[in-house]
């Protein structure tokens, strides 16, 4: 009887951890996206890029094709958005954050740049997140 209670208790504990972890993952990733949005909206492209994996293996897929690496991705952003007016104000919406396991997740959503002088831009994205060295970072970004 004692073994049954211990086994049941362990099973319940593991179930509770399994259900809490996805919520915590979603909240952490939501915070990464909020931090990126705040950086973008104050004209800080380098701050925005802190949400990305600082690696040559980062991949960004956009209308111009593939870009590999954190620095080339930053350089592309700086070329495309040279100042705060070109950057505009970023909002994310329709977010679906899906943990794929304890170390990976993906996010599908919509982005919108409000740019009164240059005209608004918008599209959709798929982000792949990985937890590396205790931090959730974007390792792949497909934005259209």
Instruction: Tell me: pLDDT of 7 over 90.
Output: no
Single out the residue of 42, 79, 78, 48 nearest to residue 141, CA to CA: 48
Q: Would you say residue 75 lies in a domain? A: yes
Q: Would you say residue 4 lies in a domain? A: no
Number of separate domains in the chain: 1
> Per residue in 88-127, pLDDT tens?
999 999 999 999 999 999 999 999 999 998 999 999 999 9
Q: Would you say residue 2 lies in a domain? A: no
Q: Would you say residue 13 lies in a domain? A: no
pTM: 0.84
Q: Which domain holds residue 94?
A: 22-143
> Per residue in 25-46, pLDDT tens?
999 999 999 999 999 999 999 9
Q: What is the mean pLDDT of the chain?
A: 89
Strand-pairing partners, residue 30, are: none
Check which CATH number belongs to the domain holding 80 and give it.
Answer: 3.10.450.50
CA 84, 86, 91, 94: dihedral to nearest 10 degrees? Answer: -160
Q: Would you say residue 45 lies in a domain? A: yes
Q: Would you say residue 10 lies in a domain? A: no
């Amino acid at each position: 009887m004692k073994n049954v209670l211990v086994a049941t208790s362990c099973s319940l504990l593991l179930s509770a951890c399994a259900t809490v972890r996805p919520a915590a993952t979603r909240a952490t990733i939501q915070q990464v996206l909020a931090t990126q949005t705040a950086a973008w909206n104050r004209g800080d492209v380098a701050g925005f890029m802190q949400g990305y994996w600082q690696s040559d293996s980062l991949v960004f897929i956009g209308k111009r094709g593939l870009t590999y690496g954190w620095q080339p991705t930053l350089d592309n952003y700086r070329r495309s958005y040279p100042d705060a007016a070109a950057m505009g104000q970023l909002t994310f919406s329709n977010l679906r954050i899906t943990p794929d396991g304890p170390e990976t997740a993906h996010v599908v959503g919509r982005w919108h740049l409000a740019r009164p002088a240059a005209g608004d831009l918008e599209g959709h994205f798929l982000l792949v997140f990985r937890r590396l060295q205790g931090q959730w970072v974007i390792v792949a970004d497909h934005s259209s």
